[in-house]
Structure 1
Amino acid sequence: MILDIYKDSLEYSAKDWKTLVILGVICLFSFLLLPAFLITGYNYRVINTAVHGIINGRDSLPGFDDPIDMFVDGVKVVIVQVLYLIVPMIIFFVFALIAGHVSGVASSALMLIGCLITLIVGVAACLMSQMGICHMAYNDGAFSKAFAISEIKEVIDEIGWFECILTYIGLIIIVIVISVVVTALIGIIFTLFGISGAVLGADPSGVFVLGAFVNTAISMFIVGPYLSIFASRSMGLLYTMQI
């Protein structure tokens, strides 16, 4: 099941490269905040398509119509994510506060325990928030459904907590590996060009600058959008496993 979800999502994300470039352009202006919510809103549309579809279906990538609705959806998603992270943040700050009032080994031990508990609760909170967003999408965008804890827990119970956590962690690993591999390959290619140029007596600095520019451009306009769609699709399909 998990591998099928990944396979479908990897293929789905590459269906329209023009969409990736458009998302990359929007991402370029995300420092203005408004575009960042548009990106989040688009990923929500990907989730919405997934929760109403099936693995290896014929779903197409969502369009960019109704930007106001897309922005509103993005704001809702960000609010859901932030609210779910409040609990692990409180746990961390409580342990940090207590550790600050003791010294020596006790302080280090408290911080270590606090970090471990925060990590465990944080992973659970992230999973709950993602499934909450999926639950919201499945229920026609009803914001309250993102916090219907008992319903979301039932969904996860039906799928299996182990399967959900394994899928989520695997998703993170895939995203990191793809990002690192693509960046490393481009870096190696331009490094070899630079070394070759230096051997021939040319100044390699221009090649290295070009390599850094190409790496940034590919990450922003292709890899980043591709992986965000991949992650959103994967979580949406995971949600459908209980239906």
Structure 2
Amino acid sequence: MRTTARDEMEAELRTVISEWQEGRSSFRLLDAGGGSLSRIPTEVVPVLTVVDISPEQLERNIADEKILGDLHEVDLGVARFDAAVAWDVIEHLADPWKVVRKLLAAVVPGGIVILAGPSRYSLQALVTRLTPHSFHVWVYRHIFKKPHAGEPGRAPFPTVHHADISPDRLADLIAKAGHELLYFRTYERSKRGKLKKTVPLLGLAYDMAARIGSSVSGRNMLESDFVMVIRPAADGGR
């Protein structure tokens, strides 16, 4: 089976996390916007706290502690967790840097914060920004065959794609605040393969647009997502 960029990213991320958690029998993990499924590649079972704005999503989660609330407003505490993760969350936030700062402050010295989301430079993100949410729901239901898409507690959720989630911009904000970037990678995690199987002509058009856009912009517009692991400054950036 061919190894994909996503496979490589997951293996690299697992290595980074394994090295960090070496010698730990457990750790306190905050999953910000974790919804119904908390995603972090770890062999150590964490004590899990999940914060989400959707009661339907929280109800399906098996976290030890569940907090219903808006990440912009909810009190995450200070140095309360060993690690925090926000996976496919920051693209939905009106003020992502505010929330990232809260996550960094909520982690103890020596802890880590994992951020993952769409690359704002990708063709997928561009299409998302230029089309209404109703179109995203239609695509999920009729192209990706998810009949319950858009119902309460089910993806796709409304997106903002604030400029601060651009990978380079976010990395710069992190560095200027004195935090350490332990791992950073962009990769393709788009549904392009399924699109090409379901609607071949549309998939071909997507490929052509991405390649032309990449040539013009000087960026790989097929790299749809990014992941970064941050070690907060000693004071959590407070």
Say yes or no: TM over 0.5: no
The structure in which a higher percent of residues are helix is 1
- TM-score when normalising by structure 1: 0.22
* Higher relative strand content: 2
| TM-score where L is the length of structure 2 | 0.22
Q: Which has the higher contact order (CA 8 A, sep 6+)?
A: 1
Whichever of the two has the greater Rg, that structure is 1
